[in-house]
Amino acid sequence: MKVAVKNNVHWVGKIDWELRKFHGDEYSTHRGSSYNSYLIQEEKTALVDTVWAPFAEEYVSNLAGEIELETIDYIIANHAEIDHSGALPRLLERIPDTPVYCTANGVKSLTGHYHRDWNFRVVKTGDRLNLGGKELIFVEAPMLHWPDSMFCYLTGDNILFSNDAFGQHYASEYLFNDLVDQNELITESLKYYANILTPFSSSVEKKIHEFLGLDLPLDIICTSHGIIWRTNPAQIVERYLQWAKAYKENQITIVYDTMWNGTRVMAERIAQGIGNEDPDVNVKLFNIAVSDKNDVVAEVFKSKGVVFGSPTINRGILTAVAALFEQIKGLSFSGKKAAVFGSYGWSGESTKVLGESLRQAGFTVVDEGLKVQWNPSEKNIEECLAYGRKLAKALS
Ligand code: FEO
C-alpha cells in the first residue's frame, strides 16, 4: 500500500491491526498500531525508516512493487529500535551498498542489533542531505526516547519526520489526523506519552523549543506510529508542551487490589467521600489486578492525586499493586500527591509499604493512611467516607 502524503512524499509502511501488546508484553495496544515508513522521490530518492521485522518480507516486496529498489539513493534510520529498523536486514540484502544515514548512537544500536557492516553515514544536528532542490535537515533527539533517536525535516514540503515523538499506537486505514475519531486519537496519544515519554519530559520540552527556534515552517508531522498530523500539526506540539510540565487534570484516581473485598469496599467509600466533598473532581477507581496497567498509568498521569490501596499479605502488599509501582517508579511522574489505605487481619503493614513505594516513585504522600481490621464495619465505613472527604482537600 502506498499513500500520498504531499507532492513526492508517500507513506509506504505497515498498518498492524492485530497488535495487542508492544515492547514484548509491556504495553497494551487495544487499537493496534502502524509502522510508518516514508518514500521521498525528488531528484534523489530517500526512504525514511522501515517496519517491524515480522513484516519485513511483505514490506520489501510491496516497496519493490512501487519502485526499483536500486533507485533508492539514501536510507534514513531515524531510530534503531526494531519496530522501525526491523526490515533493514532484508532490504539491505537487496541493495547492500545503499548509504544508511543515522546518528553516531544509531550506528552503535543498529550494529548491536544486526551485527552487519552496513554503509553507515553519521549525521548530527544541522547536517543537510540534498535531494535535488529540497533538502533533508537532521535534528538529533537523544532520549526521545533512545540515545540514537533523530528527527529529519524536509524543506520545501515543510514536513517533520519525528519518528516515535508525537505518535500513537493506533491503527487506521485513514492515515491522517483529520480523518479519525478525535477522542480515540487524543486518548492514544496521551497513553503513549504517559507510558513511554514521561521519563524524558525535560528532553521533550527542550527539543521542542530547539526545533521551534529553528524557525522552520511546519505543515505536516509524519510520525512513525499511528496517524500523520497534517491538519493543525501544532496541536500535538502544544499538547506535548503541556504534558511535559508535570501535567495534571482535576482528577483523583484510586488504584487498589483486594482479596476478600474489604479493601474494595474501602476504595468505593473513599471515592464516595471525595465526591461528596468535591463534586467537581473526577474520581476513578481501578482494581489493578483486573485492569489494563497501561490504561491505569495513563489515568495516573492525568491525576492531581492518587490513592493506593492493598490488604496486607505476608507483611507486604498484593503483587498486582507492587508490579504497578515498578512501572510507575521508572516513569518519574512529578507534582502528584498521594494517600494510601488497606484492610488487614493481624499485622497490617500494607499502608506503610504503599506509602514508602509511593515516596520512592516521587509522589508526595500527604497522609500515613487509613487501615481497617477485617471487613469494614458501619463505623469503618463512616471512617472511609470521612477519609475521602479529607483527601478531596489534601490531594488538591
Ligand atoms: Fe517505535 Fe522507539 O520505537
Q: Are residues 104 and 67 in the same domain?
A: yes
Q: Are residues 280 and 346 in the same domain?
A: yes
- Mean pLDDT across the stretch 255-282? 98
Closest CA to 371 of 392, 393, 353: 353
Kindly report the protein residue whose alpha carbon is nearest to atom 2 of ligand 1. Answer: 81
Alpha-carbon span 144 to 150, nearest angstrom: 8
Residues 6+ apart with CB under 8 A from 41: 8, 9, 10, 67
Q: Are residues 227 and 349 in the same domain?
A: no
The answer to whether residue 176 is domain-embedded is yes
Q: Which of 243, 265, 294 is the last residue of a domain?
A: 243
Element (H, E) at 342: strand 337-344
Q: Which of 243, 269, 294 is the last residue of a domain?
A: 243
The answer to whether residue 384 is domain-embedded is yes
Q: Are residues 228 and 354 in the same domain?
A: no
Q: Are residues 305 and 356 in the same domain?
A: yes
Per-residue pLDDT at 127 exceeds 90: yes
Q: Are residues 34 and 150 in the same domain?
A: yes
What ligand 1 atom has the least distance to the C-alpha of 163?
1
Side-chain-side CA neighbours of 56 within 13 Å: the count stands at: 16
Catalytic residues: 23, 79, 81, 83, 145, 164, 192, 225
The answer to whether residue 37 is domain-embedded is yes
The answer to whether residue 147 is domain-embedded is yes
Q: What is the pairing mode between strands 9-11 and 3-6?
A: antiparallel
Closest CA to 258 of 299, 295, 286: 286
Helices 293-302 and 182-192 cross at an angle (nearest 10°) of: 90
Per-residue pLDDT at 190 exceeds 90: yes
- Mean pLDDT across the stretch 191-213? 96
- 19-35 per-position pLDDT tens digit: 999 999 999 999 999 99
Phi first, then psi: what are they for 54, rounded to 5°?
A: -60, -20
Q: How far is the CA of 246 from the centre of ligand 1 (A)?
A: 23
Q: Are residues 239 and 264 in the same domain?
A: no
Alpha-carbon span 64 to 70, nearest angstrom: 9
Q: How far is the CA of 149 from the centre of ligand 1 (A)?
A: 9
- The CATH number of residue 148's host domain is 3.60.15.10
- Mean pLDDT across the stretch 194-223? 96
The answer to whether residue 396 is domain-embedded is no
Q: Give me the sign of the Cα torsion angle 13, 18, 23, 28.
A: positive
Q: Is the pTM of this model over 0.85?
A: yes
Q: Are residues 257 and 379 in the same domain?
A: yes
pLDDT band, very low/low/confident/very high, at 337 (cuts 50, 70, 90):
very high
Phi first, then psi: what are they for 312, rounded to 5°?
A: -85, 130
- Mean pLDDT across the stretch 161-169? 98
Give the torsion through C-alpha atoms of 373, 379, 384, 388, to 10 deg. Answer: -160
Q: Are residues 158 and 306 in the same domain?
A: no
**What's the gap between Cα 367 and its chain centre?**
31
Edge-to-edge strands, sheet with 159-163? 128-130, 135-140, 150-154, 159-163, 220-223
Per-residue pLDDT at 82 exceeds 90: yes
On average, the pLDDT of the chain sits at 97
The answer to whether residue 114 is domain-embedded is yes
| Structural domain containing residue 236 | 3-243
Looking at the structure of the chain, the number of domains it has is: 2
Q: Which of 186, 216, 243 is the last residue of a domain?
A: 243
- Rg value, the chain, Cα: 24
Alpha-carbon span 288 to 292, nearest angstrom: 7
Per-residue pLDDT at 1 exceeds 90: no
Q: Are residues 210 and 236 in the same domain?
A: yes
What ligand 1 atom has the least distance to the C-alpha of 225?
1
Q: How far is the CA of 83 from the centre of ligand 1 (A)?
A: 6
- 106-125 per-position pLDDT tens digit: 999 999 999 999 999 999 99
Q: How far is the CA of 174 from the centre of ligand 1 (A)?
A: 21
Per-residue pLDDT at 233 exceeds 90: yes
Predicted pLDDT of residue 33: 98
Which residues line the pocket of ligand 1, CB cutoff 6 A?
79, 81, 83-84, 145-146, 164, 224-225
Strand ranges inside 64-202, DSSP E? 74-76, 100-102, 120-122, 128-130, 135-140, 150-154, 159-163
Q: Are residues 20 and 59 in the same domain?
A: yes
Cross-strand pairs, 221:
160, 229
What ligand 1 atom has the least distance to the C-alpha of 196?
2
Kindly report the protein residue whose alpha carbon is nearest to atom 1 of ligand 1. Answer: 164
The answer to whether residue 124 is domain-embedded is yes
Kindly report the protein residue whose alpha carbon is nearest to atom 3 of ligand 1. Answer: 81
Residues 6+ apart with CB under 8 A from 182: none
pLDDT band, very low/low/confident/very high, at 130 (cuts 50, 70, 90):
very high
- 295-336 per-position pLDDT tens digit: 999 999 999 999 999 999 999 999 999 999 999 999 999 999
- The CATH number of residue 297's host domain is 3.40.50.360
Helices 293-302 and 319-331 cross at an angle (nearest 10°) of: 50
Q: Are residues 127 and 235 in the same domain?
A: yes
Predicted pLDDT of residue 168: 98
